[in-house]
A and B are shown apart, each in its own frame.
Chain A
Amino acid sequence: MPNRSLYFISLLFGLLFVFNLSMGESFISPQELFQNLFSDSKINLIIINFRLPKALTAILVGVALSVSGLLMQTLFRNPIAGPYVLGISSGASLGVSIVIMGAGLTGIAFISNISILVGALIGSIGMMLLLLSILRFVKDIMTLLIVGVMFGTFTASLSAILQYFSPSFQVKSFVLWTLGNLSTVSYSQLWIMFILIILSLILVLYSLKGLNILLLGSDNLSNFGINKRQLQISILISTAILTGVVTAFCGPIGFVGIIVPHFSRMLIKTSDHIKLLPITALLGASLMLLSDILTQIPPNGMVLPINSVTAFVGIPFILWVLLKPNNKIGI
C-alpha cells in the first residue's frame, strides 16, 4: 500500500500547493497562475515576491517539524512527543526572546537574522540535551512530558520578565514572532532554512536503521550492531536543527510535529521509518499548506495567526490520542 499512498499524498500536496498560491488578498485562479507564470505581469510579481516564498516556507516548515516529531516519538517512545510538547520549541523561544529583547536591554540594538537563528538553535539544542540527560535517570515517559511542560512554563516566565523590562516595540515584535508567521521569510532566509533542513535530513537518513531498531526498545541496539550514543547524538542534532531553524524564522509553531507522524502511521500502517519518512515529510508539507490556506478565512485581507490554526487542528487530535481507549496509535 505505501506506494499508492505516496501517489495520493503527492497529488494532494500538488493541489494544495497550487491552491495555496491562488489564495491571498485577491484570488488568482490556477488558470491565471499558469498563464502569468513567465510574464512580467502584476500577477507574476505578486506570486514571485509574496505568495511563492510563503508557500515554500510552509513546505519547509511542514517537512522539518513533522520529521522531527517522527524522530522524537521514536526516540522517547512516546505517542505525543513532538518538538512543541517536549519544550524544544520553548527552548528555541527562550533563545530568541533573549536575542530580541536582551539586545534592547543591554543596549546592543543590532538584531540580525543570524543572531536570532543562533539563539533559537542554542535554545533547542540545550533543551534537547536537558531532556536526554533526564532520560538517563527516569525511564518514565510521563515524567519527561511533565518536564517538557514545566520547561515551557519556565521559559514563558523568563520571557515575561524580559518583556516587562523591554520597550513596547520590542515586546510587540516578540509577541508577533510567537504567533507564528510564514510570510516574513525572505528568499535569502529561505535558502538558509533549505540548506540546514537538507543537511539534517541527510543525518536523518543515516539514523533510519537505528530508528527502526529503537522500536524494539533502546536496550537492544548493540545486539544489532548499532552504536547507541552515536544514534542518540545524530537524532538530537537533527531534531534540534529542524526545530530550531523553523522556530527562528517562523516562530514556535505547534502540533504539526505531533499529529503528522500519527497520520502517516495510520495511513500506511507500518512502523518502518524508511517508508514513514517520505510520507511524513509530504503530509507535513501538505498540512502546513492547508493551515496557511485556512489562515486566510477572514474576509478583507485579514489573516489569522498560523499558530492558532495549527492548534485548532492539533489539540482535538491530541485529546483523541490521549482519551480514546485501546487506540492503535501508541508508539
Chain B
Amino acid sequence: MEKQVAIAVKDLCIGYQEKKQFKDLTKAFSFQVKEGELVAIVGANGIGKSTLLKTLSNENPYRGSVKIFSKEIDTITSPNLAKYLSSVGTNYQIQSYTRVEDVIAKGRSVHTNWIGRYGKKDLEIIKESAKKVGVENLLQRFYNTLSDGEKQRTLIAMSLAQQSNIILLDEPTAFIDYPNKYFITALLKEITIKENKTVLFSSHDLEVVLTYADKILLFSETEVEFLNKKDFLEEEQILKLFNHHQLTKEFQNTLVKQLLEFYR
C-alpha cells in the first residue's frame, strides 16, 4: 500500500512572537515525513529543536505551511489535532499521588466523554500500551518513585494510549542509561514498523540516532536540512554538529574523523 505523507512542511520559519512581530529562529526549510518513518532531530542546544516540535503540535506561532495529513495545522481544532498527533515533552512535574496508570490514562482523555470517565475499552488500551513499553508491572506504582528510564517509558505509553498517527518526543533519551536509551529508541522504531506510526524525536545521542532513525533533521547555525542516513554521515554534515566557538577547527576535524571511522 502506498504510504501517505504524514507531515508536510513547506517554507517553514520557526520562531517566536515578540511585541506582535514574528522573529525567525531559522531560515525557511521544507521536508516531508511519510507514515511509518522514524525521524531524529539533531543539533545544538537552543537551536530550535524543541521549538520545531512545539510548532508541529500547533503550540507555537510560525510562518510558512505545516500540514498534517494534508490539513494545515492551524485550521484543526485542538481536540481533533490531538487525535492525529500526540507529543511527549520534558519537565513533567507530576503530583505525588499520581499512579503510572493515571499518567498513561491521560492519553485517553481526548477519547473520553465530557466528564472524562474511562470506559472498559479505555482501560484495556491503557494496559495494552503499558505492556508495549514494558511498564505493565508498574501500573500501581506512584510515578514519582520510578527511575528516569521507567518514567520515559510511561510517557511513551501515554502517547501510545492516545492512539495518534504521529508521535513527537522531545529528548526521550536524555538522562537515561545506555540499555534504556537503546530500549526506548528501539521501541520507537518498533512502533513505526508495526503500527505504521510516524515518530519524530529530538536527541543528542548520535549512537541511537544512527542505529535506528530512518531520516535525520539536522539543525545547524545556517540552515535546517532533511537528510537520509547516508548523506548525514558526511564530514561536512557531522562537522555542523561540532561547530562551537570554543573548539578549534583542528580539534573539530579530528573529532569528526574519529566519529565517522567509528560509524562507517
Question: Would you give the 0/1 interface string for B88-113, flagging 1 where the beta carbon is closer than 8 Å to chain A?
Answer: 01011111111100110111011010
With A269-B97, A330-B96 known as contacts, the answer to whether A208 contacts B58 (CB < 8 A) is: no
Nearest Cβ in chain A — how far from B220, in angstroms?
27
Least Cβ–Cβ distance between A319 and chain B, in angstroms: 19
A265 beta carbon closer than 8 Å to chain B? yes
* A215:B98 contact, CB within 8 angstroms: yes
Look across to chain B and name the residue whose beta carbon is closest to the beta carbon of A219.
Answer: B89
The number of residues on chain A lying at the interface, defined by a beta carbon within 8 Å of a beta carbon of chain B, is 28
Question: Is A157's beta carbon under 8 Å from chain B?
Answer: no
> A206, A208, A227, A271: which contacts B95 (Cβ < 8 A)?
A271
- A14 on interface, CB distance cutoff 8 Å: no
Q: How far is the CA of A226 from the CA of B81 in the complex (A)?
A: 11
A218-274 contacts to B (CB < 8 Å): 219-220, 222-227, 265, 269-272, 274
Q: Which residues of A contact B152 (CB under 8 A)?
A: none
Contact A223 B86 (CB under 8 A): yes
Count of chain B residues near A, Cβ 8 A: 35
Interface stretch (choices B114-122, B188-196, B207-215): B114-122
Cβ-neighbour of B93 out of A77, A208, A270 (below 8 A): A77
Contacts of A222 in B (CB 8 A): 57-59, 78, 81-82
Q: A208-B116, A222-B59 are in contact. Are A216 and B92 (CB under 8 A)?
A: yes
- Are A225's CB and B91's CB within 8 A? no
Q: Which residues of A contact B98 (CB under 8 A)?
A: 215, 270-271
Q: Hey, which chain A residues are within 8 Å of B85, CB to CB?
A: 223
Using Cβ atoms and an 8 Å threshold, which residues of chain B touch A328? 96-97
Bound CA span A212–B108, Å: 11
Report A167 CB to chain B, min CB distance, Å. Answer: 50
Residue of B nearest to A330 (CB): B96
Interface residues of A in 65-89 (CB under 8 A from B): 77
Please tell me if A217 contacts chain B, counting CB pairs below 8 Å. yes
Residues B203-244 near A (CB distance < 8 A): none
User: Does B86 contact A209, Cβ atoms closer than 8 Å?
Assistant: no
Asked if residues B78 and A227 are in contact (CB atoms below 8 Å), the reply is yes
B54-88 interface code vs A (CB 8 A; 1 in, 0 out)? 00011100000000000000000011111101110
Does A331 make an interface contact (CB < 8 A)? yes
Known A212-B109, A274-B115; contact A220-B102, beta-carbon cutoff 8 A:
no
**CB-based contact A330/B109 at 8 Å:** no
Asked if A272 and B102 make an inter-chain contact with CB atoms under 8 angstroms apart, the answer reads yes
Instruction: Note all chain A residues with C-beta closer than 8 A to B102.
Output: 212, 270-272
Verify B93–A209 contact, CB threshold 8 A. Answer: no
A213 within 8 A of partner (CB): yes
Given A206-B114, A216-B106, A220-B89: A225 and B83 interface contact (C-beta under 8 Å):
yes
Contact B112 A209 (CB under 8 A): yes
Q: Does A205 contact B (CB under 8 A)?
A: yes
Interface positions, chain B 116-144, Cβ under 8 Å from A, are: 116-117
* Binary CB contact string for chain A from 318 to 331 against chain B (1 if under 8 A, 0 otherwise): 00000000001111
Contact A209 B78 (CB under 8 A): no
Chain B residues whose CB sits within 8 angstroms of the CB of A270 once the complex forms: 97-99, 102
Q: Assess the B89–A209 pair: CB atoms within 8 A.
A: no
Q: Which residues of A contact B91 (CB under 8 A)?
A: 217
Chain B residue at smallest Cβ distance from A275: B102
Chain A residues with CB under 8 A of B109: 209, 212-213, 224-226
Counting chain B CB atoms within 10 Å of each CB, which of A213, A225, A269 scores highest? Answer: A225
Distance (whole angstroms) from the CB of A198 to the closest CB of chain B: 16
Residues of B within 8 A of A206 (CB): 114-115
Q: CA A253 – CA B87 in complex, angstroms? A: 42
Chain B nearest CB from A227 CB (Å) reads: 6
- 22 CB < 8 A contacts A-B: A77-B93, A209-B112, A209-B116, A212-B106, A215-B98, A216-B106, A217-B91, A219-B59, A222-B57, A222-B58, A222-B82, A223-B59, A223-B85, A224-B82, A224-B110, A224-B162, A225-B81, A269-B97, A270-B98, A272-B102, A330-B95, A331-B95
4 tightest Cβ-Cβ pairs between the two chains A and B: A209-B116, A225-B82, A225-B79, A225-B110
Residues of B within 8 A of A (CB): 57-59, 78-83, 85-87, 89, 91-99, 102-103, 105-107, 109-110, 112, 114-117, 162
